[in-house]
Chain A
Amino acid sequence: MSIMEIKQVGYSYDNKKKVLKGVNAEMEQGKLYAILGPSGCGKTTLLSLIGGLDSPGSGQIYFDGQDIAKTGLSDHRKNHVAFIFQAYNLIDYLTPTENVSLTSKLPPLPILERLGLTKEESKRNVLKLSGGQQQRVAIARALASEAPVILADEPTGNLDEDTAQDITDILKESAHKMNKCVVVVTHSNELAKQADVVFRLRKGELQVLERVQDGAAQPQSRRNNAPRSERRAH
């Protein structure tokens, strides 16, 4: 049962350059999705549309069967999705615990400790933490929000290999153990290899790629331009 459904979504910058051309996709809870694609192909734009940061030029995005444009983008952002950014985007005058408390009434410390931060680190200014620690705080903030969908834009882009793997593991765990729908925009084949489903965005169209063990993902024989229901009809 898909929690997010993208139907014929189109988007263009300033009504000129068309970056998304009738994109279709379905995403389920409990899975890690990776979206690959060259720079400027519209990956982040697609993530913004899924997260309700912007409205598509055409098509619809559904959360749990309801059009988010009708239920309200602000409400969608507040209750359904949580963002993780490449630059962490923590509030610099708050401690990790306070950053996590921004989105949740749950006690922040257990979540932070589960993600590897000590009690002492959790009370420091966020700017005094390492990049990996800051990204863990960002993930903790996303997880604490209890949103079923986590949208991560290049979450390992600024991290070294080992830390990137740690973060990937946390994202996988969030999907598989915490039943989140985790959508990751990335350039990292390492991360993509560990995703349950890999999409490739190219020339405004979204394709589902077959996962391969040698590193590079290959396009599947069927394209994912039509909604699943339509594909089934064929």
Chain B
Amino acid sequence: MNLCKRACLYSVRKKGKTLTLLAFLLVMATLMLTCLSIQSATETANANIKKALLGYFTINAKTLENGIPEDTVSQILAMDGLSGRYTLRSYTYATYFDADGNLLEINTEGAAQVPEGYENAGRVVANSNSQEDSYFTDGGFEMVEGNPITTETGSQVLVHEKFAQRNGLSVGDTMLLGNVEDKDKTIPVTVAGIFTNTEEQDSIGMAPSYDLYDNIVFTDLSTASFLLYGTEGTTNVQYGDFYVNDPDELERIMTDVQELDGVDWESCTLTRYDNDYQNAKESLEGLQNIVFIAIAVVSVICFLVLALFLTLRLRGRVHETGVYLAMGISKGSVLLQYLLEVILVAAIALVISFGTSTAISHQIGSSLLSQVTSETYETVDLTGESEAAQEPTEDLDLAEIEVAVSAEDYALVWAFGMVLCVASTALAAYPIMKMKPKSILSQMS
């Protein structure tokens, strides 16, 4: 009779012992798989957070006389680790004229008093793509007619629907933007589009006239650069937001930026924006640490309990071992039989554990992850960084992450289970196997 048959007969005939071992291994395999699937889900969540809550840094040239030069922006964009996504922004004020140089009428109704010279001015917002401006991304403004403005569109503007109606402007018309402090410095622009506001302005009555929605004009960076710094042929900007691929790399990239030549760091600031990511990451790391500790504890307990269980079981089989050895069956063959018995039960436990752990990990994992998710959402809402950076947070879909047993985790648990069986059986059988057959038979008698 070969050892496989002996192992099968033992497992079948010693039902109590087999079922006890099966129950223990099933619990352990389920716990292990559950922990691993939660860990995988948190890793996915972490990757999603990285995608959704992109880290970025901002250069603010508020006190820099000529703004951030175009070549500095080019140098930054050429650096490693940047995602290629960036937003350049400038804000200024301008007096609006028609093509013939006549003042255009702005809305002053209910507005607060403005400084001298700003009576006919409105706010000019410029960035690399008007559609990426927070006024539009937040849904406060929407296009009614025409096209958005980008760096490629040339000297163009988007005007408010009411401003256009008030002054008889339509898409394709030309108007002039004039420097508030130097009336001779004007630049002709074409009306590329008309927008409107979907929400009423909160601060009406308190806001100066140039900040009223009706009076805001969106234009390109080159036009704003002319109004702000008087530049022609080159585009200097006030603000630059640069997104990185991996928020964990942000610190290094910012250090590299600070080492760039030709930037006067005394008069411009470099600000890091990754609090949302860091806070969200912290919540997930907490869960990951718990899961990691759980895996370690389960592994150690699994090994110790299994080794103890098998030690007790094999102690009761000294008699049998002695008989086998007296028959000339080798120690290796006897040890393999004992190992095979454990592996047979472990295999059944592992197969069943796929179902049990799928059910449990879905319940527990989803509960844990939703707790972390709500913490993450709260964090994002509280800091509001993403909003400030015109970063849509709709992509942050942590709740949709499925906690399921992956093939990789399942294979890992199989491998670990088999190693555990071999190690525990070897440890448990060692005291018996090192004895001489006569010593075993003496113990028997």
A residues engaging B (CB < 8 A)?
Answer: 44-45, 48, 51, 53-54, 74-79, 82-83, 85-87, 89-94, 98, 101-103, 145
How would you classify the secondary structure of chain B's contact residues: helix, strand, loop or mixed? helix
Chain A to chain B: the 3 pairs with minimum beta-carbon distance, closest first: A78-B328, A77-B328, A54-B438
Contact between A93 and B327, CB atoms less than 8 A apart = no
With A48-B441, A78-B329, A102-B1 in contact, do A89 and B323 touch (Cβ < 8 Å)? yes
With A53-B441, A87-B444, A87-B445 in contact, do A101 and B1 touch (Cβ < 8 Å)? yes
Contact between B326 and A102, CB atoms less than 8 A apart = no
A91 vs B438: C-alpha distance in the bound complex, in angstroms? Answer: 18
22 contacts between A and B (CB under 8 A): A44-B445, A48-B441, A53-B326, A53-B436, A53-B437, A53-B441, A54-B436, A74-B328, A76-B328, A77-B325, A79-B328, A82-B327, A86-B445, A87-B445, A89-B319, A89-B322, A90-B323, A91-B323, A92-B320, A98-B9, A102-B327, A102-B329
Q: Which residues of B contact A51 (CB under 8 A)?
A: 326
A48 vs B325: C-alpha distance in the bound complex, in angstroms? Answer: 12
Nearest Cβ distance between residue A8 and chain B, in whole angstroms?
20
A74 vs B328: C-alpha distance in the bound complex, in angstroms? Answer: 5
Contact between A54 and B437, CB atoms less than 8 A apart = yes
A53 vs B326: C-alpha distance in the bound complex, in angstroms? Answer: 7
Nearest Cβ distance between residue B144 and chain A, in whole angstroms?
86
Nearest Cβ distance between residue B80 and chain A, in whole angstroms?
66
A8 vs B437: C-alpha distance in the bound complex, in angstroms? Answer: 23
Nearest Cβ distance between residue A43 and chain B, in whole angstroms?
12
Residue B252 at the A interface, CB < 8 A? Answer: no
Contact between A75 and B328, CB atoms less than 8 A apart = yes
Nearest Cβ distance between residue A15 and chain B, in whole angstroms?
15
Q: Which residues of B contact A83 (CB under 8 A)?
A: 326-327
Contact between B328 and A98, CB atoms less than 8 A apart = no
B residues engaging A (CB < 8 A)?
Answer: 1, 6, 9-10, 13-14, 319-320, 322-330, 436-438, 441, 444-445
Contact between B327 and A145, CB atoms less than 8 A apart = yes
Q: Per a CB cutoff under 8 Å, which of A45, A77, A90, A92 touches B326?
A: A77
Q: Which residues of A contact B13 (CB under 8 A)?
A: 93-94
A45 vs B439: C-alpha distance in the bound complex, in angstroms? Answer: 11
Q: Which residues of A contact B9 (CB under 8 A)?
A: 93-94, 98
Nearest Cβ distance between residue B342 and chain A, in whole angstroms?
16
A103 vs B327: C-alpha distance in the bound complex, in angstroms? Answer: 7
Identify the closest chain A residue to B11 (Cβ): A93
A51 vs B437: C-alpha distance in the bound complex, in angstroms? Answer: 11
A101 vs B1: C-alpha distance in the bound complex, in angstroms? Answer: 6
Task: Give 17 new A-B contacts, CB below 8 A, not counting A77-B325, A77-B326, A89-B319.
Answer: A48-B438, A48-B441, A51-B326, A53-B436, A53-B438, A53-B441, A74-B328, A77-B328, A78-B329, A85-B441, A85-B444, A85-B445, A86-B445, A87-B444, A89-B323, A89-B326, A98-B9
A137 vs B285: C-alpha distance in the bound complex, in angstroms? Answer: 65
Identify the closest chain B residue to A104 (Cβ): B1
Nearest Cβ distance between residue A2 and chain B, in whole angstroms?
22
Q: Which residues of B contact A79 (CB under 8 A)?
A: 328
Q: Which residues of A contact B1 (CB under 8 A)?
A: 98, 101-102
